[in-house]
Amino acid sequence: MDPQAVLAAYDEQVRRGTVEDGWRGVTWSDLSADTADAAIAEQVRRFAGTGSWEWKHYSHDEPADLPDRLVAAGFRPEPAETLLVAEIADLALDVPPPAGVDLVEVVDARGAAALVSVHDAVFGGDHSVVGRSVLARRSTVAAVVAVAGDRAVSAGRVEFCAGTDFAGLWGGGTLPEWRGRGLFRALVAGATRSTARRTAAGSGPEGCTVSVSACSHTPATVPSTTSTGCAAGAVRLPIRPSARRTSRPAGRG
């Protein structure tokens, strides 16, 4: 795999071409030291009064001091993530879960409720919107729950970026008492197997992405949001306007 070629494809296909439902912000930019400050100010004006939003910056974005410029404009950074891409054909997917645990694909309201229960316990807050989204988007999302007895102990999902070579692993989490047993590795393998099946059937991507650890910049005047993203061997912060195409909002609803 050529990391630079993968990054270029990811930038063009995903960062400039797709957006998460219900998310607002800047996902891609092509700026210089001469244009960055004006572009940042324009986005701050553009999103003023719209609620929570963020600017996703990746380590290969220009100019190099863009994170400092964002902070100076009133943004605050979130923890950095390492963003990875792998070719599905190269992955070892025969990873069984621990004894006594079954991997169950989410296909109905009961499965969605189990997924939501794990997300609520691991990440805090109310993730019922994720459960509804999984059921409403069965053609573009494959969610998997790990169940021990009658209890959901881990959950995650794959989202397929339509018209691109990429799918993303999202929302993976395991209850604290079940960590350290290889459960999450098995869950990721199970979710990726769903991607591989769709790829073999001609309806899935060739690559799978995951955020291991991006840094979001969120205006200090609004609640912080959590970002998740993917890109080959990059560290992500967040960003988006362009010197050539001033800016296009990446948000819906």
Q: Give pLDDT, residue 204.
A: 52
The chain-wide mean pLDDT, for the chain, equals 77
- pLDDT category, 69, cuts 50, 70, 90? very high
Classify residue 165: in a domain, yes or no.
Answer: yes
Same domain, 70 and 148: no
Domain count along the chain: 2
Classify residue 243: in a domain, yes or no.
Answer: no
Same domain, 160 and 204: yes
The mean pLDDT value for 121-142 works out to 90
Helix/strand/coil for 238: coil
Same domain, 135 and 107: yes
Higher pLDDT, 80 or 198: 80
| 154 strand-pairing partners | 146, 174
Residue 14 has pLDDT above 50, yes or no: yes
Helix/strand/coil for 78: coil
Classify residue 143: in a domain, yes or no.
Answer: yes
Q: Which two tokens stand for residue 60?
A: 């290969």
The mean pLDDT value for 200-220 works out to 47
Percent of the chain residues topping a pLDDT of 90: 34
pTM: 0.68
Helix/strand/coil for 125: coil
Same domain, 62 and 172: no
Q: Give pLDDT, residue 206.
A: 46
DSSP for 139-194? TTEEEEEEEETTEEEEEEEEEE-TTSSEEEEEEEEE-GGGTTSSHHHHHHHHHHHH
The mean pLDDT value for 238-247 works out to 32
Q: Give pLDDT, residue 195.
A: 67
Classify residue 247: in a domain, yes or no.
Answer: no
Percent of the chain residues topping a pLDDT of 70: 75
Same domain, 113 and 28: no
- pLDDT category, 6, cuts 50, 70, 90? confident
Of the given ranges (30-44, 91-105, 142-156, 197-211), which has the lowest mean pLDDT? 197-211
Task: Specify the CATH number for the domain of residue 147.
Answer: 3.40.630.30
Classify residue 159: in a domain, yes or no.
Answer: yes
Higher pLDDT, 153 or 4: 153
List phi, psi (to 5°) of 100.
Answer: 85, 0
Classify residue 191: in a domain, yes or no.
Answer: yes
The mean pLDDT value for 208-232 works out to 37
Higher pLDDT, 23 or 221: 23
Classify residue 132: in a domain, yes or no.
Answer: yes
Which residues form the domain of 226? Answer: 3-80+214-236
Q: Give pLDDT, residue 51.
A: 82
Which residue is associated with the tokens 């079940």? 178
Of the given ranges (148-157, 200-209, 227-236), which has the lowest mean pLDDT? 227-236
Classify residue 50: in a domain, yes or no.
Answer: yes
User: Rounded to whole angstroms, how far apart are CA atoms 232 and 50?
Assistant: 31
Of the given ranges (92-96, 217-221, 249-253), which has the lowest mean pLDDT? 249-253
Higher pLDDT, 128 or 165: 128
Same domain, 163 and 222: no
Same domain, 112 and 199: yes
Same domain, 63 and 108: no
